[in-house]
Amino acid sequence: MDNLTHTLTGLAISYAGFNRKTRYATLAIVVGANLPDIDMVSRVGGNVAYLQYHRGITHSIIGITALAILLAAAIYFPGRRARPPKAGPPLDGRWLLLACWIATASHLLLDLTNSYGVRPFIPLNYHWYAWGIEPIIDPLLWLILIAGLALPALFRLITEEVGARKTGFQNGAIFSLCALVALWGLRDFSHRRALNMLDAISYHQADPERLGAFPSFVNPFGWTGVVETSRAFYVLPVDVLSGRLDPQDARLFHKSEPSPALEAALTTRTARVFMDFARFPWAEVLPGENGPTVMIRDLRFQPANFHRGGFAIEIQLDQDLHVRSQAFSFSGRFRDHQS
């Protein structure tokens, strides 16, 4: 998920009660809710390095636990020497450690909900797991979390003006977290319905071998379906609310035949990293004067209504099938190449 969602979720967790258990709870939880994304430093090594290491060890159960311990120590020991405020709870190391772990765990859970996925069992298992019910950026989540956090602040200002007792933020924060879980339940129900709809029909008289449904930007009832048969991939819109699913609306991606060019491309580091990540890789070999170009896209990031999808690699070969350049792009557009 995006860092705004992580931050708002962290604030809701803190105001739900942790800020009453120990000093620095809000600071710890907000920082911890974003801390696993420290692996973004891998971006300095280029897009391929970022794809390989992002959501790696820092997004594993072992990683979030280690980060929680380090964060708690970084806050506790300097905080113990600071002069305590007149109001508020005392500094409690046990509650602080628990708050840090819940914060980093919330990051892992939120990232699990989208189609990108996480690898929670590194270093024992490097397999990607993805619930696949949330887009990476979900304005509905923003609305839920902001409403739960902002409305109590508004009521607080109103009660202060009329001289009434100040209202707290706890109820609003709890509402936000409950509404978040409710939205996940709705999206999960819709997701399962979309998968059942995709599995119930045939595609050019071929049954699905694998299929997936991937969320739209806002609409929890709109999905992009990806279906693999023995000969092709089909990418099509699925509307759970209306029950609309028409194979005639599908974009067809014929599978490439095995070829020396494709085999050569798959030996590159870029292709190895990408194929480990991709769930529905579709390859095409494009001839050229200087040699063939191999393009491979992950069709789960191919919106049904757009011709260009993200998450793709481009391997340029010469006439002897030696690699001239290789690149990975999150947007599907290629500018810089790595030789």
- Which CATH number fits the domain that encloses residue 324? 3.30.505
Which residue do the tokens 């809000």 mark?
26
The length of the chain, given as a count of residues: 339
| Confidence (pLDDT) at 337 | 47
Residues 197 and 210 in one domain: yes
Q: Which domain holds residue 91?
A: 3-131
| Confidence (pLDDT) at 217 | 85
Residues 235 and 277 in one domain: no
Residues 209 and 265 in one domain: no
Residues 269 and 247 in one domain: no
Confirm whether 153 is domain-assigned: no
Q: Identify the helix (H) or strand (E) that includes residue 198.
A: helix 170-199
Q: How many Å apart are CA 186 and CA 7, to the nearest integer?
A: 23
On the CB side of 281, how many CA atoms lie within 13 Å of its CA? 17
Q: Among residues 257, 263, 256, which one has the least CA distance to residue 323? A: 263
Give 203's DSSP letter: B
Confirm whether 172 is domain-assigned: no
| Helical axes 25-34 vs 61-81, angle rounded to 10° | 150
Global pTM value: 0.91
Residues 241 and 305 in one domain: no
Domain count, the chain: 3
Residues 76 and 106 in one domain: yes
Confirm whether 196 is domain-assigned: yes
Confirm whether 147 is domain-assigned: no
Confirm whether 21 is domain-assigned: yes
**Per-10-residue mean pLDDT for the chain, 339 residues long?**
96 95 96 97 95 96 98 96 83 97 98 96 96 94 92 62 57 94 97 97 92 93 96 95 89 94 97 97 94 96 70 95 95 61
Residues 277 and 227 in one domain: no
The residue out of 95, 113, 131 marking a domain boundary is 131
CA angle 331, 335, 338 (to 5 degrees): 105
Residues 263 and 249 in one domain: no
Confirm whether 136 is domain-assigned: no
Confirm whether 13 is domain-assigned: yes
Residues 232 and 269 in one domain: no
The residue out of 213, 237, 253 marking a domain boundary is 253
| Confidence (pLDDT) at 218 | 86
Q: Tell me how far CA of residue 96 lies from CA of 38, 149, 175, in angstroms.
A: 20, 22, 23
The residue out of 105, 131, 157 marking a domain boundary is 131
| Confidence (pLDDT) at 305 | 59
Confirm whether 160 is domain-assigned: no
Handedness of CA 243, 247, 248, 252 (dihedral sign): positive
Residues 261 and 248 in one domain: no
CA angle 151, 6, 50 (to 5 degrees): 155
Say how many Å lie between the first and final Cα of the chain, rounded: 32
